[in-house]
């Protein structure tokens, strides 16, 4: 997802509204017309003690210089700072980054995932992609391209801590129909085309990718990365949420 123009920054406006203790429920609109009312922005501000168990387990793998991709309001970024690590947070939303800084983040930058190649080689030891942010890879081709970039900007012992959701663990026939439509279009079944709406604000349309564990393994093949382990969220068999601990091959 490219850096958002301020007047289209619905995601950032939701976060800013919550920060100001105002209404913070946004709408996720899919390109087939399916609408989902989000649960609100409180998750972007949650303290470590309120994190879910699979997140607490996964964050133990973070080390050294960390890149938090899609940092939102900075919940992971601020936690890593308190742990004494050296985190950098990036988000395509300039307003979200502003809120991060107001909350005490030392290094938060308005930057899209497509621009991570601007970092120097070997800059980071850990890549964090919480909140289903593996989805920011968007598509099969983009994922493979960005995984190669992540190899370049990370150390030899680097780890990616990435959350996703299995799109097939649903009983909603509307979603299965969408999967079918995607296959006909040559897209991955869990490749969503969405935009975020909040009050008078709306982002542009962008691709967001849900994958199963097997699909994630396939995307990683020949990328120089491999799965070390999966950590399932509570209720995985119903909601499909999991975090993958991904390491460089041979390490």
Q: Report the C-alpha gap between 13 and 24 in whole angstroms.
A: 8
The structural domain count of the chain equals: 1
The predicted structure's pLDDT at residue 57: 98
**Residue 231 domain flag:** yes
The predicted structure's pLDDT at residue 236: 94
**Residue 28 domain flag:** no
Domain that holds residue 166: 59-192+206-248
Phi, psi at 39, each rounded to 5°: -75, 0
Q: Report the C-alpha gap between 129 and 107 in whole angstroms.
A: 17
The predicted structure's pLDDT at residue 23: 81
Tokens representing 15 are: 């976060």
User: Whole-number mean pLDDT of the chain?
Assistant: 95
The predicted structure's pLDDT at residue 24: 83
The predicted structure's pLDDT at residue 174: 97
Q: Please list the alpha-helical segments (H only) found in the chain.
A: 10-19, 53-58, 75-82, 94-102, 140-152, 173-184, 213-220, 236-239
The predicted structure's pLDDT at residue 250: 66
Q: Which residues of the chain have pLDDT under 70?
A: 1-6, 39, 250-251
**Residue 104 domain flag:** yes
**Residue 39 domain flag:** no
Q: What is the pTM of this model?
A: 0.95
């Amino acid at each position: 997802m490219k850096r958002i123009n301020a007047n289209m920054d619905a995601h950032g406006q939701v976060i800013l509204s919550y920060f100001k203790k105002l209404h913070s429920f946004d709408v996720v609109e899919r390109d087939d017309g399916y609408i989902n009312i989000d649960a609100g922005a409180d998750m972007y501000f949650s303290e470590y003690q309120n994190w879910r168990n699979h997140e607490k387990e996964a964050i133990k793998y973070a080390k050294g210089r960390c890149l938090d991709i899609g940092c939102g309001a900075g919940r992971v970024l601020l936690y890593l700072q308190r742990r004494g690590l050296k985190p950098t947070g990036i988000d395509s939303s300039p307003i979200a980054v502003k809120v991060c800084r107001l909350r005490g983040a030392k290094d938060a930058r308005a930057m899209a995932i497509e621009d991570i190649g601007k970092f120097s080689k070997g800059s980071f030891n850990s890549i964090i992609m919480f909140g289903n942010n593996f989805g920011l890879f968007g598509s099969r081709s983009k994922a493979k391209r960005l995984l190669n970039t992540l190899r370049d900007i990370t150390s030899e012992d680097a780890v990616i801590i990435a959350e996703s959701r299995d799109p097939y663990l649903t009983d909603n026939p509307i979603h299965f129909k969408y999967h079918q439509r995607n296959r006909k279009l040559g897209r991955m079944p869990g490749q969503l085309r969405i935009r975020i709406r909040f009050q008078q604000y709306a982002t542009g349309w962008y691709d967001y990718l849900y994958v199963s564990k097997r699909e994630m393994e396939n995307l990683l093949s020949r990328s120089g990365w491999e799965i070390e382990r999966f950590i399932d969220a509570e209720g995985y068999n119903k909601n499909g949420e999991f975090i993958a601990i991904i390491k460089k091959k041979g390490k």
